[in-house]
Structure 1
C-alpha cells in the first residue's frame, strides 16, 4: 500500500513529509481514457493496408515494424505505437515503405484518419470526469498524439470542457517520457506537482510523472502488462474506474 507521506520524484533524494491532498489528476489519452486495442486495433489494420497498397508482404513488414498483430488486430506489448509520437511512428513506417514517401504527407494522413476514429471509452467518461470534478479535482490530458486529434476525441466523448489543460506532443511542451507537458499543466493550473497524479498505461507516462515529481498510477487498459508498470507506479489499477476508491483508501482527497 502506498505510503502517502512519501514524495515520489525522479531521483534518490526523496524526503518524507506530511501526506499531500491531491488536487489535480493528469491523464494519458490512448490506453487510459480510451481502451487502446479496442480503439486502434481495426483502424491500424486499415491504415497499414492502405499505405502498403494492398501488398500483403509489405503490409506484414509494416505490421512487424510497428509491433502490430495483423491476425488478431492488436498491438504487442512494447509496440512503438503505444507511447511514441506520430512522428516516431511515421519514421518506422517510412523505414519500410519503398520509394520517396513524404513524411509530412504521411503524418497528415495519419492525423486526419486518427481524428475520425470512434474511441472506445475505458469507462463511461461523461459521468466519470463529472464525478472527479465534483470531488474538487482539476483535470488534464497529456498525450503523445497530436493536439488536434486529441481535442477532437475529447469533443466526441463530450468531455473536453472538463479538462483545464490538454497538450499533445506538438503543443510546445515536448513529449513523454519528458516531464514538460506535466510541468505545463502545473503552470497553467497553479498546482504543485506534489498535489498531482499522473495516470497512464505506459512506462513513458510513468517516467514523465516521476520526472515531474508526481505520484504515478498505472492502468491496464493498454497493451502493457502489470509487471511492466509496477516498478514505476505507486499503484497499478485495472482501469481509471478504480481511482476514486484508491484516492479515498489512501486518504489522498479530503472528501
Structure 2
C-alpha cells in the first residue's frame, strides 16, 4: 500500500456527476430515453414528465436548476407517479433506476482529464472515494466501465444507508472507513449540495465549475473554486511543496 501523502489532505472524496463525468453529455441523452420509455409514446405525458423534472425536451438538456442536477433519483418520484398514474411509487423508482443504470452506461462521458488525474492521485497514496446522489450500483458500474474502480477505496450512493447530500452521512462514513479526521479530507464537487454536505461534515470544500453551476454561486460556500481536475492536482502539488 502506498504511504499517506505528505500534505494536510490525506484523502479526497469526489462527487460523480458534473465532477468526474460530464453531467449533460451523460445524463441528458439518458434522461431523454427514460422519458420516452416511461411515457410509452404519449407526447403529453412526456411533456409533463420533462416539465416537473426541469428537462427541456426540445433541446434535450437539463435546466441548471433541475432537481435532478444535484438531487437523488427519487427527488420528483411523487410527481412522476401522479403523472403516470402509478400507485406503487417504490416500484416505479426501481424501474426508473434500472433504465437509468443502462442508459447512463451507454452514454457515459468522462471528462478528458479524469483518468490521468485519478491515477496520479491513487499512485500518490491519497485515499479516494465517491459520494454521489446517484445509486451506488450505478457509480460502481460506471467506474468499472472506465477502468478506474480499483482506484476508489469507497463508493457511496444515496441508497448506501448514509443519506443523500446535503446530509453529511456519506462523508462521515468515508472518514470512519479511512480512519482520517474530516479536516484531512477534501470533498470535490460541482453543486451547492456538495458544498453544504462538506460544511456539515467539516471537510475541506473544493468546488469545480465543470457542472451546471458557476463560480459566482459556488464561491461563497467553498474553500476553493477550480476550473477542473487539473487545478486540483496543482493545488495539492503546491500544498506538498
Pair in the same fold by TM > 0.5: yes
1:108 corresponds to which residue?
Answer: 94
Per mean C-alpha deviation after superposition, the further-off stretch among 190-199 and 127-136 is 127-136
1:178 corresponds to which residue?
Answer: 167
2:65 corresponds to which residue?
Answer: 78
Q: Give the deviation of 1:89 after TM superposition.
A: 3.4
1:37 is aligned to 2:19: no
CA distance in 1, matches of 2:79, 2:143: 27
1:6 corresponds to which residue?
Answer: none
1:26 corresponds to which residue?
Answer: 13
2:79 corresponds to which residue?
Answer: 92
1:133 is aligned to 2:119: no
CA distance in 2, matches of 1:95, 1:231: 37
State the SS of the aligned residue for 2:143: helix
Q: Deviations over 1:71-125 (max 9, x none)?
A: 221111111101211222323322433x234322322222222222231102343
1:212 is aligned to 2:201: yes
Flag as ranges the 4+ runs of structure 1 deviating above 4 A.
Answer: none
1:58 corresponds to which residue?
Answer: 45
TM-score, length of structure 2 as denominator length: 0.90
Conserved 8 A contact 1:77-1:225? no
Gaps of 5+ in 1: 1-19
Q: Give the deviation of 1:242 after TM superposition.
A: 1.8
Count of residues in correspondence between the two structures: 232
Q: Which has the higher helix share?
A: 2
Conserved 8 A contact 1:123-1:241? no
Gaps of 5+ in 2: 1-6
CA distance in 2, matches of 1:233, 1:196: 14
Which of 138, 145, 148 is the aligned partner of 1:156?
145
Q: Deviations over 1:124-182 (max 9, x none)?
A: 43322110122221101011111111111111111111111111111111111010100
Q: Deviations over 1:1-55 (max 9, x none)?
A: xxxxxxxxxxxxxxxxxxx711111001111110100101111111112212222
TM-score, length of structure 1 as denominator length: 0.86
State the SS of the aligned residue for 1:231: helix
Cα distance change of structure 1 residues 95 and 202 upon mapping to structure 2, 3 Å threshold: farther
Cα distance change of structure 1 residues 46 and 136 upon mapping to structure 2, 3 Å threshold: same
